Structure 1
Amino acid sequence: MRTLIAPGRRRAGYTITLVITTIVLTVVFVVPLLWVVVSAMKTAVELARVPPTIVPETWTPGTYAEAWDLMDLGRYFVNTIVVAVGVWAVQLAVDVPAAYALSRLKPVLGKGILGMMLLTLMMPAAVLLVPTYLTIADLGLLNNPLALWLLGAANAFTVFLLKRFFDQLPVEVLEAARIDGAGQLTMLWRIVLPLSRPILAVVSIFAVVAAWKDFIWPLLVFSDPARQTLSVALQRFAPDTPVNLLLAGLVLSSVPMIGLFLVFQRHVLAGLTAGSVKG
C-alpha cells in the first residue's frame, strides 16, 4: 500500500526539519554564550545602558586581563584544578572496581546494592548537606580538598553507567583470559579497562565538569578564601566588582570546560552509545 507522501517529499521534509531544529538549538545555546563574551568587552557604563547595545561601542578586550589580575583568578584556577583532578581520580578508583564487581563477580545481593545506590539519586542533595557537613567537620577535613574528593568517590550514576557498559563486554574474551590463568584484577586492568575507554571518557568528563561547577559544597567546606574554588570566589567578588569584569571572570572560568568538551566530544558520544545495541 502506497503512502500518501512520496519518498522524495519525506526526505525533503526530514531535511527541512533537521535544519530548522539545528538552527534553533544553535541559537538557544550559542547566542547567550556569545552575548556574555561580547558583553565582557563593553565598559561598565555601556553594559548598564537600557536598551542594551548589541555590539560594543568601544571594544575593550583588556577587560579579561584586568579581571584576571583584579580577582587573582590564577590562584582559584589552581584550587579548582586540584579539586577536579582529585574528584576524578578518587571517583574512578572507587567506582570502576565497584561496577566491575557488580557486573562480573555477581555478588549475592548485587541487585539490591545497585538498587539502593540508584535510590540515592532520588534524594534531594540539600537533605544530605547537614549530616555530610557534620561528618566532614568531625573528621577535621574543613578547608581540605579531601572533603570534596571523598564526597565524589561513590557516585551511583557513574557506577550504573560503568556496570551497563561492562555487561556488554564480550564474555568470550574474559573467559579466554581466565583459562590462561588471569585473575580478576589482571582482567580488569589489562582487558576491561582498555576496552572501556569510551565510557571511561564519559564518566571522567562528567566527574570533572561536576566538580568544576559545584558551588554549595565548596562554599560550605572552604571558609578560607585562599582555598576557595572559582565558583565560590566569583560569587564572593560579585558585590564589589564591576559587572563587565565579573562577566569576564565567568567567561574565563568556563573556557576550560568548553575546551574539554570540544576536544572529547567524539568520545562522549561514542561512550553514551556504546553497548546500546547487542550482537
Structure 2
Amino acid sequence: MRTLVRPAVLRTRRGRLVYWSLLSAALFLFTLAFVVPLYWMVTGGVKSSPELARTPPTYVPHEWHVGNYADAWSELDLARYFGNTVTLIGGAWLLGLALQLPAAYALSKLRPRFGRVILGLMLVTLMVPATVLLIPTYLTVTDVPVLGLNLINNPAAVWLPAAANAFNIYVLKNFFDQIPDELLDAARIDGAGPLTTLARIVLPLSRPIVAVVSILSITALWRDFLWPLVVLPDPAKQPITVYLQRISDTTSLNMLTAGLVLASIPLVAIFLIFQRQILAGLTAGGVKG
C-alpha cells in the first residue's frame, strides 16, 4: 500500500518525529480555524456591549453576563421566529423528500426513456449560479404557471424551489444504483409494484443516504437568507436569519450576538444527534462486492 510517507521512513526515530510533529501542527491549526470563531461568538454573547465593542478586544470576558441569552430569547421574541423557521424548513424538507426520492428511484431503477437526458439537464442547473436564477424563480412564484397563484408571503414560495434540488436527486440516484437489482426483481415476482418496492425495499436500505440528504437540505435552508428575504417581505412571516439581520441596527451588539448563538444551536444539535447516520451515508456504496 502506497502512502505519502514510506513505511521505512516511519520506522526511524527522525521519520516518526517529523511525521507526528507535522500531523499535530496541522490538526491544531485546523482545530483553531473552526473553534476560535465559535468561541468568539459564544463569549461575545456574555459580554457587555461596551466590552464587546472595545478595541483591542478582550479574549476572556471581564464580567460574565450569562443572562444575556435569556434576555435575548424573551426580548427579541426568538420563539416566534424559530417557529417560522421550523415551518419553512419542515415543509421544504418533507416536500423535497416526497419529490426527490421517487425521482431518483425512477432514474436509477425504472430507467425511463430519455432518463439520461433528463438527468443531464438536471445536472446542468448545478452549473448555473443561484443569483442568475433569482429573478426567473421570483417571477415564477409571483405568477405560478397554469395555476396563476401569487405565492409571495406564502411558505410555499420557499418550499417549492427548495424541493427541486438536482444535487440531492443525483446523490440519491448514485446510492440507489448500488442496490442489487435481484432484490427488486424478487419483489416484482411477489407482486409488488414500483411504489411498494420503493417503500418496503429501497427506503429501509437507504436510511443513511436519506439522513445525509436531509442534513444537507436542512443546513442549506437554515442558512438561506436572500430568498426568504425576497419572497417573505412580511416581518411576521420571516425566518430567524432574516429577522436578526432586520433588527441588527436597533439591537445592542451583545444581545444580537446572543441571538445569533441561539439561532445556531439547532444545527449543531442536529449534527451531534445524527452524526453516525451522516458518516454512514457518506461512506455507503463506496465499496462494491
Is 1:5 the counterpart of 2:8? The answer is yes
Partner of 2:76: 71
Give, in whole Å, the separation in 1 of the partners of 2:185 and 2:46. Answer: 60
| C-alpha deviation, 1:33, in angstroms | 0.3
- Could you tell me how far apart the structure 1 residues matched to 2:279 and 2:181 are? 24
How far 1:75 sits from its partner (Å)?
A: 0.5
Q: After the TM superposition, which residues 9-24 of structure 1 pair with which residues of structure 2 at under 5 Å, given as runs?
A: 9=12, 14-24=19-29
| Counterpart selection for 1:260 from 253, 267, 270 | 270
Match of 1:151 in 2: 161
| 1:213-254 per-position Cα deviation (integer Å, ceiling 9, x unaligned) | 110010011111110101100000001111111111110000
Q: Write out aligned runs for 1:1-279 (5 A).
A: 5-9=8-12, 14-138=19-143, 139-279=149-289
List alignment gaps of at least 5 residues for structure 2.
1-5, 144-148
Cα distance change of structure 1 residues 15 and 266 upon mapping to structure 2, 3 Å threshold: farther
Deviation at 1:7, TM superposition (A): 4.3
1:54 Cα deviation from its structure 2 partner: 0.8
> 2:156 is aligned with what amino acid?
L
Q: Which amino acid aligns with 2:201?
A: I
3-state secondary structure, aligned to 1:49: coil
Query: 1:184 Cα shift?
Result: 1.0
Equivalent position SS for 1:59? coil
Superposed displacement of residue 18, structure 1: 3.7
DSSP-derived class of the 1:35 partner:
helix
Distance 1:43 1:7, change over 3 A: closer
Distance in 2 (alpha carbons) for counterparts of 1:187 and 1:21: 47
Q: 1:11 to 1:193 in 2, by over 3 A?
A: farther
Secondary structure of 1:27 counterpart: helix
RMSD: 1.5
CA offset at residue 175 of structure 1?
1.7
Q: Deviations over 1:183-229 (max 9, x none)?
A: 11111000000000000000011111111111001001111111010
| CA spacing shift, 1:162–1:12, aligned 2, 3 Å | farther
TM score, norm. by length of structure 1: 0.95
- 1:67-104: CA deviation from partner (whole Å, max 9, x where unpaired): 11222111100000000111110000000000000000
Residues 242 and 13 from structure 1, CA distance in 2 versus in 1: closer, same or farther, beyond 3 angstroms? same
1:275 to 1:15, Cα distance in 2 relative to 1, 3 A: farther
Of residues 16-25 and 234-243 in structure 1, the stretch that sits farther from structure 2 once superposed is 16-25
More helix by share: 1
**Matched letter for residue 88 of structure 1:** W
Runs of 5+ consecutive residues of structure 1 not aligned to the other structure: none
Q: CA deviation at 1:130?
A: 1.2
Cα separation, 2, equivalents of 1:140 and 1:101: 31
Letter in 1 for 2:247: F
State the one-letter code of the partner of 1:32: P
Counterparts in 2 of 1:11 and 1:110: CA distance versus 1, 3 Å: farther
- Looking at structure 2, the residues matched to 213 and 6 of structure 1 have their Cα atoms a distance apart, in angstroms, of 46
Map Cα deviations across residues 143-201 of structure 1 (whole Å, 9 max, x no partner): 11111111111100000000000000122212211222211111100000000000000
SS of 1:240's partner is: coil
TM-score, normalised with respect to structure 2: 0.92
